């Protein structure tokens, strides 16, 4: 069985990073709505994937790539171990 790990790499501006988000001053109301819609869609996507049996990991563009890869590898390892244990118990 495959591990089913979805990796989402989110840009700080487009996905409203809590550390680096900015609010454009021009056309501010439109941008606020646009970014809010992006965040809501991200949540919907995550929930849909999780309901389908996927583990979702989100990585911000500002994160250290080596640490991001380590987190992804750890999640894959956990998923792989869980599936192996489930297969043995059948």
Q: Which domains does the chain have, with CATH numbers?
A: 5-88 (3.40.960.10)
The mean of the pLDDT values for the chain is 91
Angle at 43 between CA 71 and CA 3, to 5 degrees: 40
- 55-73 in b/e form (b: 16+ CB < 10 A) is bbbebbeeeeeeebeeeee
User: The pTM is what?
Assistant: 0.82
Instruction: Indicate the pLDDT class of residue 90, thresholds 50, 70 and 90.
Output: very low
Q: Going along 1-90, which residue ranges are E strands?
A: 5-10, 55-60
Q: What is the percent of the chain where pLDDT is above 90?
A: 82
Q: What is the pLDDT of residue 57?
A: 97
Question: Tens digits of per-residue pLDDT, 65-88?
Answer: 999 999 999 999 999 998 666 555
């Amino acid at each position: 069985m495959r591990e089913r790990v979805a990796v989402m790499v989110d840009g700080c501006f487009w996905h409203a990073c809590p550390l680096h988000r900015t609010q454009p001053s021009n056309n501010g109301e439109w941008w606020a709505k646009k970014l809010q819609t992006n965040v809501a869609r991200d949540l919907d996507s995550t929930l849909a994937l999780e309901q389908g049996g996927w583990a979702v990991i989100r990585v911000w563009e500002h994160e250290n790539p080596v640490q991001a890869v380590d987190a992804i590898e750890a999640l894959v390892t956990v998923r792989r171990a869980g599936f192996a244990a489930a297969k043995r118990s059948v």
